[in-house]
Amino acid sequence: MTSEHTYDALVIGDGPAGDAAARKMGSAGLHVALVEAAELGGECLNSGCVPSKALLALTSRERRPWDEVVARVRAVQLLTRGSDPDGGFAEAGVDLYRGAARFLGPNEVAVGETVLRAPHVVIATGTAPAIPPIPGLAEANPLTNRTVFSIPSLPGRLAVIGGGAIGLELGQAFHRLGVEVTIFEVLDRVAASEEPEVSAELERVLQAAGVRVETGIRIERAARQEGGRVALWTDGRRWEFDEVLVAAGRSPQLPEGLDRLGLALDQRGFIETSACGETNLPGVWAAGDVTGGLQFTHYASLQGHHVARHIIAGECEPRPAPVGVWAIFREPEVGHAGLTEGEARRSGRTVRTARLDARELDWFRASGSTIGFAKVVADAATGRLLGAHLLCERASDLAGEAALAIQCGLTAREVAAAVHPYPTAAELFRWACAQVSHG
Ligand X SMILES: Cc1cc2nc3c(=O)[nH]c(=O)nc-3n(C[C@H](O)[C@H](O)[C@H](O)COP(=O)(O)OP(=O)(O)OC[C@H]3O[C@@H](n4cnc5c(N)ncnc54)[C@H](O)[C@@H]3O)c2cc1C
Interface positions with ligand X (CB under 6 A):
12-18, 35-38, 42-44, 48-49, 52-53, 100-101, 124-127, 145, 166, 253, 255, 288-290, 295-298, 300, 329
CA 13 from centre of chain: 17
Nearest of 96, 100, 94 to residue 113 by alpha carbon: 100
Are 414 and 332 in contact, with CB atoms under 8 Å apart?
no
Nearer to ligand X, 103 or 363 (CB): 103
Shortest distance, CB of residue 403 to ligand X, whole angstroms?
13
Which helix H or strand E contains 427, and what residues bound it? helix 426-437
Our CB check for ligand X shows the closer of 212 and 298 to be: 298
Shortest Cβ 425–ligand X spacing (Å): 19
- Minimum CB–partner distance for residue 249 and ligand X (Å): 10
Q: Which is nearer to ligand X, 38 or 380 (CB)?
A: 38
3-state secondary structure of 435: helix
Q: Name the burial class of residue 420, with classes exposed (0-12), middle (13-18) and buried (19+) by CB atoms within 10 angstroms of its CB.
A: middle
φ, ψ of residue 35 to 5 degrees: the values are -115, 130
Tell me the closest approach of the beta carbon of residue 141 to ligand X, in angstroms: 18
Minimum distance from CB of 52 to ligand X (Å)? 4
CA 358 to chain centre: 26
Of 215 and 253, the one with the shorter C-beta distance to ligand X is: 253
* 197 within 8 A of 168, measured Cβ to Cβ: no
Is residue 99 within 8 A of residue 35, CB to CB? The reply is: yes
Alpha carbon distance 192, 165 (integer Å): 9
**C-beta closer to ligand X: residue 223 or 261:** 261
Least distance to ligand X from the beta carbon of 115, Å? 14
Phi and psi at residue 108, in whole multiples of 5°?
A: -145, 130
CA distance 30 to 25: 6
Q: Smallest distance, Å, CB 223 to ligand X? A: 26
Residues in the chain, total: 439
Single-letter residue type at 436: V
Residues 201 and 391 sit within 8 Å (Cβ to Cβ): yes
Our CB check for ligand X shows the closer of 238 and 260 to be 260
Residue 329 vs 364, nearer CB to ligand X: 329
145 vs 172, which CB is nearer to ligand X? 145
Give the shortest CB-296-to-ligand X separation in angstroms.
Answer: 3
Q: What minimum distance in Å lies between the beta carbon of 289 and ligand X?
A: 4
Geometric angle at alpha carbon 332, from 173 and 131, rounded to 5°: 45
Contact 337/324 with Cβ under 8 angstroms? yes
| Shortest Å, Cβ 45 to ligand X | 8
**What whole-number distance in Å separates Cα of residue 352 and Cα of residue 253?**
41
Whether the CB-CB separation of 223 and 231 falls below 8 Å is answered with yes
**Region class of 341: left (phi > 0), else alpha (psi between -120 and 50), else beta:** alpha
The residue among 128 and 312 lying less far from ligand X, judged by its C-beta, is: 128
> Which of 246, 65, 267 is CA-nearest to residue 154?
65
Nearer to ligand X by C-beta: 37 or 217? 37
